[in-house]
């Protein structure tokens, strides 16, 4: 029925008894999506350039994985609802995939299939909530979905720092200091997004001992386990499960470059049965009953994806990443306000420190990124979105030509905003105080 433009009755809000849940906004405010899309608000893209990074130039997945999904559709075997914990073949395939490196083997029952790693995070947070005073230790910088879902589930967040001067190792003294008798878990991201480091065996061993001392579980986010291209070998945290019970989270999103496929897992590395005796297993299984199962089609395809992907697919991608890191670090020399303290050995980012004192009229990382979007149509993630002020994350998992374009744009942005050499020389006398710290 056509609306009557003279009829204003619906604008009278007071008669309605419903309203949106305000509690969601606190949690959503810290999500990456809200923060990054916030940069687009109030800014008109005045460069006329296409927005970078583009989705079309990023790495492609392999034909074997695409074929596995197509075959799952055609089989007609994946049209019903899947069981809550996941289909047996998918759980078995994930256990096999991870077991190569583990002293205590996972059985299919130790694996739960989820809608990507993000849903695994949600299920874990809900499983750990319940005690209203529970708190969880998260890394800074970190991955904001943990923060958002902890807030949403009513779990208090406490931060521990990653130390840039020590290859982004965990500050274990600080971690111990922020924990108390209500701390239930710590989250570890290894390989690390955004810092690009990989933790050594020795460091992880110390983490395990510390977690045991504190009586807390370790949640190890290993979503980037297939994107390691430096000298430090990746060590799964599950190796230390006899010291401390470990929940490992993973997915195919990053390794296979298919974040839209939404398939991941939770695995319980716990030879001593602590998760079962403390009710954590039950809580996770209950949470899985409360939420939609991930696509049966992707679950059906998962064994082939994990087992039939040729090694060359990863090798080629890692080689490209090594080249991209070298190229990016070289190009960064033209942009002195950004510095990379450690060349990344994993993931697909450059995590760089921003020196705003070299720039005119740029107050913060958020300001930098917002103006960059506006002037150059280039999207970088401001560190503040990941918990670290005046850092910036640059995505470098793309084709070489696009990477060059990204750094061309950064360079011209810097050129326009740099405090001029002339005023730098006048330092002590210039009335702009920020100039002093350039020297
Ligand atoms: C991308 C990412 C996730 C989310 O992975 P999905 O499988 O796409 O849900 C979780 N943790 C970290 C550290 C990530 O980088």
For residue 138, the domain's CATH number is: 3.40.640.10
> What's the pLDDT at 30?
77
| Cα(201)–Cα(404) distance, integer angstroms | 36
| Cα(309)–Cα(307) distance, integer angstroms | 6
For residue 412, pLDDT over 70 is answered with yes
**Mean pLDDT to the nearest integer, 104-119:** 98
**Mean pLDDT to the nearest integer, 64-76:** 98
Burial track 325-347 (b if 16+ CB lie within 10 A, e otherwise): beebeebbeebebbebeeebbbb
> What's the pLDDT at 27?
82
Domain with residue 386: its CATH number is 3.90.1150.10
- Same structural domain for residues 242 and 370? no
- Same structural domain for residues 262 and 142? yes
**Mean pLDDT to the nearest integer, 269-281:** 97
What DSSP string describes 411-425?
A: HHHHHHHBPPHHHHH
Give yes or no for residue 223 CB within 6 A of ligand 1.
yes
Instruction: Give 117 Cα–ligand 1 centroid separation in angstroms.
Output: 5
Residue-number span of the structural domain to which 54 is assigned: 34-60+312-418
- Same structural domain for residues 165 and 76? yes
Residue 367 within a domain: yes
State the pLDDT confidence band at 435, using cuts at 50, 70 and 90.
Answer: very low
Instruction: Give 181 Cα–ligand 1 centroid separation in angstroms.
Output: 29
- Give the pLDDT confidence of 47-65 residue by residue, as tens digits: 678 888 887 878 899 999 9
Residue 25 within a domain: no
> What's the pLDDT at 434?
34
- Same structural domain for residues 261 and 201? yes
> What's the pLDDT at 1?
44
> What's the pLDDT at 439?
27
Instruction: Give 10 Cα–ligand 1 centroid separation in angstroms.
Output: 42
Residue 396 within a domain: yes
- Same structural domain for residues 243 and 316? no
Residue 222 within a domain: yes
**Dihedral sign for Cα atoms in the order 261, 23, 387, 377:** positive
Q: Which of 149, 193, 264, 266 to mutate to test the pocket of ligand 1 (most atoms within 8 A of CB)?
A: 193
Instruction: Give 265 Cα–ligand 1 centroid separation in angstroms.
Output: 11
Residue 435 within a domain: no
- Same structural domain for residues 138 and 196? yes
Residue 7 within a domain: no
- Same structural domain for residues 295 and 170? yes
- Give the pLDDT confidence of 292-316 residue by residue, as tens digits: 999 999 999 999 999 999 999 999 9
Give yes or no for residue 143 CB within 6 A of ligand 1.
yes
- Same structural domain for residues 167 and 267? yes
Residue 242 within a domain: yes
| φ/ψ of residue 107, rounded to 5 | -100, 165
- Same structural domain for residues 190 and 337? no
- Which of 55-59, 89-93, 257-261 shows the lowest mean pLDDT across its residues? 55-59
| Cα(166)–Cα(202) distance, integer angstroms | 14
**Of residues 67 and 16, more confidently modeled:** 67
**Mean pLDDT to the nearest integer, 384-413:** 96
For residue 12, pLDDT over 80 is answered with no
- Which of 26-30, 131-135, 151-155, 296-300 shows the lowest mean pLDDT across its residues? 26-30
Give yes or no for residue 406 CB within 6 A of ligand 1.
no
Tell me how far apart the 2 most distant CA atoms of the chain are, in Å. 77
Pairing, β 135-140 against β 156-163: parallel
Q: Do 109 and 266 contact (CB within 8 A), yes or no?
A: no
> What's the pLDDT at 84?
97
**Mean pLDDT to the nearest integer, 251-267:** 97
Instruction: Show which of 246, 275, 308 is a domain's final residue.
Output: 308
Residue with tokens 């105080």: 433
Beta bridge partners of 122: none
> Percentage of the chain with pLDDT > 70?
91
| Cα(373)–Cα(304) distance, integer angstroms | 40
How far CA 123 is from CA of 134, 147, 265, 405, in Å, comes to: 16, 14, 11, 40
The pLDDT mean for the chain works out to 91
**Of residues 365 and 55, more confidently modeled:** 365
- Same structural domain for residues 356 and 368? yes
| Cα(242)–Cα(414) distance, integer angstroms | 51
Q: Do 191 and 346 contact (CB within 8 A), yes or no?
A: yes
- Same structural domain for residues 291 and 365? no
Instruction: Give 250 Cα–ligand 1 centroid separation in angstroms.
Output: 8
Give yes or no for residue 259 CB within 6 A of ligand 1.
yes
Residue 150 within a domain: yes
Give yes or no for residue 221 CB within 6 A of ligand 1.
yes
- Dig out the tokens for 369 from the structure: 């990124």
For residue 219, pLDDT over 80 is answered with yes
Instruction: Show which of 284, 308, 332 is a domain's final residue.
Output: 308
How far CA 219 is from CA of 51, 248, 266, in Å, comes to: 35, 6, 10
> What's the pLDDT at 21?
85
For residue 179, pLDDT over 50 is answered with yes
- Which of 7-16, 200-209, 218-227, 292-301 shows the lowest mean pLDDT across its residues? 7-16
Instruction: Give 63 Cα–ligand 1 centroid separation in angstroms.
Output: 22
> What's the pLDDT at 393?
97
Instruction: Give 174 Cα–ligand 1 centroid separation in angstroms.
Output: 26
What DSSP string describes 37-86?
A: HHHHTT----S-PPPBS-SSSBPP--HHHHHHHHHHHHHS-S-SPPPTT-
For residue 11, pLDDT over 90 is answered with no
Instruction: Show which of 270, 289, 308 is a domain's final residue.
Output: 308
Index of the ligand 1 atom closest to the CA of residue 119: 9
Q: Which of 123, 145, 162 to mutate to test the pocket of ligand 1 (most atoms within 8 A of CB)?
A: 145
Q: What is the domain count for the chain? A: 2
Sheet of 183-189: strands edge to edge? 111-114, 264-269, 246-251, 217-221, 183-189, 135-140, 156-163, 169-170
User: Which of 360, 410, 354, 359 lies closest to 383, judged by CA?
Assistant: 354
**Of residues 6 and 287, more confidently modeled:** 287
- Give the pLDDT confidence of 322-335 residue by residue, as tens digits: 999 999 999 999 99
Write the CB contacts of 305 (distance below 8 Å, at least 6 apart in sequence).
64, 65, 68, 69, 252, 256
> What's the pLDDT at 167?
96
Index of the ligand 1 atom closest to the CA of residue 121: 10
| φ/ψ of residue 356, rounded to 5 | -70, -15
Beta bridge partners of 7: none
171: number of Cβ within 10 Å: 16
For residue 438, pLDDT over 70 is answered with no
State the pLDDT confidence band at 433, using cuts at 50, 70 and 90.
Answer: very low
Helix (H), strand (E) at residue 329: helix 311-332
- Which of 255-259, 303-307, 371-375, 427-431 shows the lowest mean pLDDT across its residues? 427-431
């Amino acid at each position: 029925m056509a609306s009557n433009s003279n009829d204003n009755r619906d604008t009278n809000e007071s008669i309605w008894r419903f309203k949106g849940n305000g509690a969601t906004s606190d949690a959503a405010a810290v999500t990456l999506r809200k923060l990054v899309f916030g940069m687009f608000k109030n800014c008109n893209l005045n460069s006329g350039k296409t927005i970078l990074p583009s989705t079309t130039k990023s790495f492609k997945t392999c034909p074997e994985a695409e074929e596995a999904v197509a075959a799952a559709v055609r089989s007609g075997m994946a049209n019903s609802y899947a069981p809550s914990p996941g289909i047996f073949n998918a759980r078995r395939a994930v256990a096999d995939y991870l077991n190569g490196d583990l002293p205590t083997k996972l059985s299919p029952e130790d694996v739960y299939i989820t809608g990507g790693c993000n849903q695994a995070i949600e299920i874990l947070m809900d499983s750990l909530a319940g005690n209203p005073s529970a708190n969880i230790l998260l890394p800074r910088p970190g991955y904001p979905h943990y923060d958002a879902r902890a807030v949403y589930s009513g779990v208090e967040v406490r931060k521990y720092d990653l130390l840039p001067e020590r290859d982004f190792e965990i500050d274990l003294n600080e971690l111990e200091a922020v924990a108390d008798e209500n701390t239930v878990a710590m989250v570890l991201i290894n390989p690390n997004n955004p810092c690009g480091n990989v933790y050594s065996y020795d460091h992880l061993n110390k983490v395990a001992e510390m977690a045991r001392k504190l009586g807390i579980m370790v949640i190890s986010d290993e979503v980037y386990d297939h994107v390691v291209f430096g000298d430090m070998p990746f060590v799964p945290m599950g190796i230390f499960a006899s010291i401390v019970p470990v929940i490992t989270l993973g997915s195919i999103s990053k390794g296979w470059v298919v974040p839209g496929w939404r398939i991941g897992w939770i695995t319980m590395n716990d030879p001593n049965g602590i998760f079962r005796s403390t009710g954590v297993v039950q809580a996770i299984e209950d949470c899985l009953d409360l939420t939609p199962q991930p696509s049966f089609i992707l679950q059906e395809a998962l064994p082939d994806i994990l087992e039939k992907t040729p090694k060359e697919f990863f090798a080629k991608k890692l080689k490209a990443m090594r080249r991209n890191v070298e190229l990016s670090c070289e190009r960064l020399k033209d942009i002195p306000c950004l510095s990379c303290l450690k060349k990344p050995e994993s993931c697909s980012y450059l995590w760089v420190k921003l020196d705003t004192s070299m720039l005119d009229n740029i107050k913060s990382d958020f300001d930098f990124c917002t103006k960059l979007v506006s002037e150059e149509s280039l999207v970088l993630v401001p560190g503040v979105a990941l918990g670290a002020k005046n850092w910036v994350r640059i995505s470098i998992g793309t084709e070489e030509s696009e990477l060059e374009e990204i750094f061309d744009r950064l360079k011209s942005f810097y050129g326009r905003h740099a405090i001029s050499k002339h005023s730098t020389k006048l330092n002590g006398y210039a009335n702009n105080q920020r100039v002093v710290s350039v020297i």
